[in-house]
């Protein structure tokens, strides 16, 4: 059934073929393993989990490096409550109930669980608190981010340019990001972000609109 659904999606939306082809390669080459190996982290390394959801990715990191300093960003109030309960008493896990990006204030997010988005419309919505990257780093000085994972359902097109324009992207050692393809014009949006990232980082591997990793040049 899933294969039929993907086939129909390709036929009806040929602009999504880049995603479907990348997803096939991701599965064929066990790309998920790239998001499960963090034994290179050292105690005290700062790790950002942007779009923390239920904290599963944070769990993966902490199993391999229990001494990592984790900063979890999640604007959904239900998930924030779960994260705070889950990591209560963990002095190295910091939960931020915000969507970090270009502006400070509030925004409306469609409410679809782990697919909650400021870009895709899922019918239901909730108001989320936002904090600009400039305001965040003013309040929370960070010299180096060893690893940043970004999976925020389209919010990456706001966050990453904001990090670049603020001059903060140079603090990120490794960036793992899932770009989302909700509409054809987001292909060009991804290209623009990638071109800007190339000024400071090298692309280590890429499965377009699935996952990719960028590493800060020495």
Count the alpha carbons within 13 Å of 189 in the hemisphere toward its beta carbon.
Answer: 18
Across the beta sheet with 125-132, what order do the strands follow?
99-101, 125-132, 105-110
Is 154's pLDDT higher than 70?
yes
∠ CA(27), CA(55), CA(155), 5° rounding?
A: 75
- The answer to whether 199 and 217 are in contact (CB under 8 A) is no
* Residues 103-150 pLDDT 10s: 999 988 877 655 444 555 556 778 899 999 999 999 999 999 999 999
H or E element at residue 18: helix 17-28
Contact 47, 148 (CB under 8 A): yes
H/E element, 135: helix 133-139
Q: How confident is the model at residue 218 (pLDDT cuts 50, 70, 90)?
A: confident
**Domains by residue range for the chain, with CATH:** 12-216 (3.40.50.150)
pTM: 0.90
């Amino acid at each position: 059934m899933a294969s039929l659904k993907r086939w129909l999606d390709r036929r009806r939306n040929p602009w999504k073929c880049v995603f479907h082809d990348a997803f096939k390669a991701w599965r064929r080459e066990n790309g998920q393993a790239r998001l499960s190996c963090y034994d290179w982290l050292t105690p005290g390394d700062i790790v950002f989990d942007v779009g923390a959801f239920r904290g599963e990715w944070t769990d993966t990191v902490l199993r391999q490096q229990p001494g990592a300093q984790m900063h979890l960003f999640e604007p959904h109030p239900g998930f924030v409550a779960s994260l705070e309960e889950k990591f209560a008493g963990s002095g190295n896990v910091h939960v931020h109930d915000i969507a970090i990006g270009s502006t400070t204030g509030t925004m409306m997010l469609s409410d679809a669980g782990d697919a909650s988005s400021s870009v895709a419309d899922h019918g239901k919505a909730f108001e989320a608190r936002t904090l600009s990257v400039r305001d965040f780093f003013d309040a929370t000085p960070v010299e180096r981010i060893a690893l940043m994972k970004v999976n925020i359902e389209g919010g990456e097109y706001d966050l990453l340019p904001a990090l670049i324009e603020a001059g903060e992207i140079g603090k990120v050692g490794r960036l793992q990001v899932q770009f989302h393809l909700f509409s054809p014009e987001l292909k060009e949006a991804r290209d623009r972000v990638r071109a800007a990232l190339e000024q400071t980082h090298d692309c280590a591997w890429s499965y377009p609109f699935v996952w990719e990793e960028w590493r800060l040049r020495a």
